[in-house]
Amino acid sequence: MTNHTALKDWVAKTAELCQPDKIVWCDGSKDEYQRMLQIMVDSGSAQWLSPERKPNSILVRSDPADVARVEDRTFICSNYEADAGPTNHWKDPEEMHEILRPLFRNCMRGRTMYIIPFSMGPVGSPIAHIGVEISDSPYVVANMHIMTRVGSKVLEVLGDDGEFVPCIHSVGKPLAFGEKDVPWPCNADNKYITHFPETKEIWSYGSGYGGNALLGKKCFALRIASVMAKEQGWMAEHMLILKLTSPQGVVKHIAAAFPSACGKTNLAMLTPTLPGWKVETVGDDIAWMKFKEDGYLYAINPENGFFGVAPGTNTKTNPNAMAALSKNSIFTNVGKTPDGDVWWEDIDRPAPDLLIDWHGKEWVHYDSVNKAAHPNARFTAPASQCPVIADNWEDPAGVKIDAILFGGRRSTGQPLALQSFSWEHGTFLGSTMASQKTAAAAGKVGELRFDPMAMLPFCGYNMADYFQHWLDMGATGGDKMPRIFYVNWFRRAEDGHWLWPGFGENSRVLKWVCERCDGAGDVVETPIGLLPTNDAIDTTGLDIPEDDMAELLRVDVDEWKQKIPLFREHYAKFGDKLPSELTKQLDSLEERLN
């Protein structure tokens, strides 16, 4: 097991509080993974899918009251409210512990407490960090096996006194003696996803779903890691990482921040339509970036698998994801076909008769409201099963990042692509990112919200300080920092049609990005940034009307002028803490527009 005294003491203290029936230290073995699946199947939480259709894979249906991240139940418990900032829910740490203590007291009665040591990033990498999750959910154990590196090898690196982030999770449903469990235990009315940035702890109660429960992902790798990154001079970002190779063999690594469910997984695994270009995946959701001695930023993907949105994924939009999820995967809240396969909206084939929906009922498709799969239905699939996983995706040294893309879902205004004038201007672009809301979080879909750097729900401290951290990183890295771009695949014409085909065609924009990194590629200076000239994006072989291309790259000065007050209002939230550099950037934009 371990001789790590602090770890053993913490486990003993947590067991004393939660009173589980049993304690199991996870070793990360394949046997253990299989055991978890079988436990879920035996208890009625999961069912095996057909061994022919989806070998070694299970289907799980959650409680309909536990289907997404719950941002309104997510708290940053810093000592001072100002350190959580205006975009987070704050609670005093002592007060939060007073709420949590009675909830966690005896909360694991009748259940097994699993101790899951995990590494975010290749085990032993200088960019990686270690966490230990205590959870009473075998679903969490199995998912953590896919999403992180779990087990004894992590304890070895931790040694007797290594640092780890303690993460405590309970579904919040103790069982009385002899009480029969429900298929998806949770405590829907009492969810708390809480982070303590000063002590670097995570406590999560009441939900078993995704980022609420797999604490290595959003809670550690983004919220707590963003605080560590600020303190230690590195970056923890909500970004995919892809490796782009040109026909001449020039390699670039690109990190890209898009809000949840805006196509990060698709972009990370894209099949280029441009002949000779190659995209390979390093990561699809999170990037940890640190400076190396050469002064450049190097990134790792701290995760080990994909927790992807299922609806919309098919062999056209993302054949590589479809291959990755073809076996050894966990499916949550998707539909099930009579032959034991999965089904969701916009998968490759029409819905068969006798389809079972995500509620476990025969699907009655009488309108577009009644979906067979929940819009936030997910697959959990090992990254190693992705056919285009990059050969260097587990390089402990990380990959040198050449470019950073920001993007969102914007039907008007935002051009297809632009490059920032500088790192400071790029930070301004990231800080004013906005996107139409998706189903990844509870709330109203379609509403436009500011989502700076796609970190709105994931920044573990005051976002104004986070902006300052971006500026500070730029000051440290100088010319060696990645170039910054802003892209938008989602622009529509006035009649509503999509102007840009997206998916594999996005490789055309990536080619321009690659050229810009080498000081080539044509641009025209506009008030909002450096835009590709009308022929700078390679459209060879693409049947796109010239008018559409011109519209995609059009800057409507009047529309941008109207945005200035919205930007000011967004910035006003941060009061005095907003870095003066960003106000300066906004003032300059306004001047350039006039």
Answer with the entry of Mn ion, ligand OXD, none that 164 interacts with (C-beta below 5 to 8 A by kind): none
Output the smallest distance, CB 437 to ligand OXD, in A: 12
- Which of ligand OXD, Mn ion, none has residue 88 at its interface (CB below 5 to 8 Å by kind)? none
Of the residues 77, 186, 219, 262, only one is catalytic, namely 262
Any contact of residue 440 with ligand OXD (CB under 6 A)?
A: yes
Q: How far is the CB of 510 from ligand OXD (least distance, A)?
A: 21
Stretch that binds Mn ion, among 106-114, 256-264, 271-279, 478-486 (CB under 5 A): 256-264
Least distance to ligand OXD, CB of residue 490, Å: 17
Number of residues that bind ligand OXD (CB under 6 A): 7
- Closest separation in Å from C-beta 396 to ligand OXD: 24
Out of 110, 151, 206, 211, point to the residue binding ligand OXD (CB under 6 A): 211
Using DSSP, state whether 52 is helix, strand or coil: coil
Cβ distance to ligand OXD smaller for residue 307 or 423 = 307
Residue nearest to ligand OXD (CB): 260
CB of 440 to ligand OXD, least distance (A): 4
**Residue 491 binding: pick among ligand OXD, Mn ion, none (C-beta 5-8 Å cut-off by kind):** none
Q: Which is nearer to ligand OXD, 261 or 553 (CB)?
A: 261
List the single partner that 74 binds among ligand OXD, Mn ion, none, CB under 5 to 8 Å by kind.
none
Determine which residue in the list 285, 303, 451, 515 makes contact with Mn ion, applying CB under 5 A. 285
Q: At what angle do helices 423-431 and 463-477 cross, to 10 degrees?
A: 160
SS (H, E, C) 105-118: CCCCCCCEEEEEEE
Measured from the CB atom, the residue of 185 and 457 that comes closer to ligand OXD is 457
Q: How many other CB atoms are found less than 10 A from the CB of residue 1?
A: 12
Q: Which of residues 243-262 bind ligand OXD (CB under 6 A)?
A: 260
Site membership for ligand OXD, residue 285 (CB under 6 A): yes
Q: Tell which phi-psi region holds residue 551, choosing left (phi > 0), alpha (psi between -120 and 50) or beta.
A: alpha
544, 501 Cβ separation under 8 angstroms: yes
Q: Which of 118, 307, 406, 486 binds ligand OXD (CB under 6 A)?
A: 307
**DSSP readout, 492-531?**
B-TTS-BSS--GGGGHHHHHHHHHHHTT-S-EEEETTEEE
Answer yes or no whether residue 209 interacts with ligand OXD by CB under 6 A.
no
Those residues whose C-beta lies under 8 Å from the C-beta of residue 35, and which sit 6 or more positions away, are: none
CA 334, CA 356: separation in Å to the nearest integer? 9
What is the per-residue DSSP string for 56-78?
T-EEE---TT--SB-GGGEEE--
For the CB of residue 238, give the shortest distance to Mn ion in the complex, in Å: 6
Based on the shown chain and the rule CB under 6 A, indicate whether residue 69 belongs to the binding site for ligand OXD: yes
Give the binding range for Mn ion (CB under 5 A) out of 244-252, 283-291, 382-390, 420-428: 283-291
Q: Active site includes 262? A: yes
What, of Mn ion, ligand OXD, none, does residue 69 touch, CB below 5 to 8 Å by kind?
ligand OXD
Whole-angstrom distance, CA of residue 18 vs CA of residue 14: 6
**C-beta of residue 508 within 8 angstroms of C-beta of residue 274:** yes
Tokens at 220, concatenated = 């550690």
Query: Cβ(264)–Cβ(313) under 8 Å?
Result: no
Angle at 468 between CA 465 and CA 474, to 5 degrees: 150
- Pick out residues in 259-278 that bind Mn ion (CB under 5 A): 260
**Residue closer to ligand OXD (CB basis): 240 or 578:** 240
Q: Is 210 in the site for ligand OXD (CB under 6 A)?
A: yes
Alpha carbon distance 400, 137 (integer Å): 37
Q: Which residues contact 304 (CB under 8 A, 6 or more apart)?
A: 146, 147, 148, 149, 382, 383
Q: Phi/psi at 389 (nearest 5 deg)?
A: -65, 135
* Active-site annotation, residues: 262
Contact set with ligand OXD (CB under 6 A): 69, 210-211, 260, 285, 307, 440
Contact set with Mn ion (CB under 5 A): 260, 285
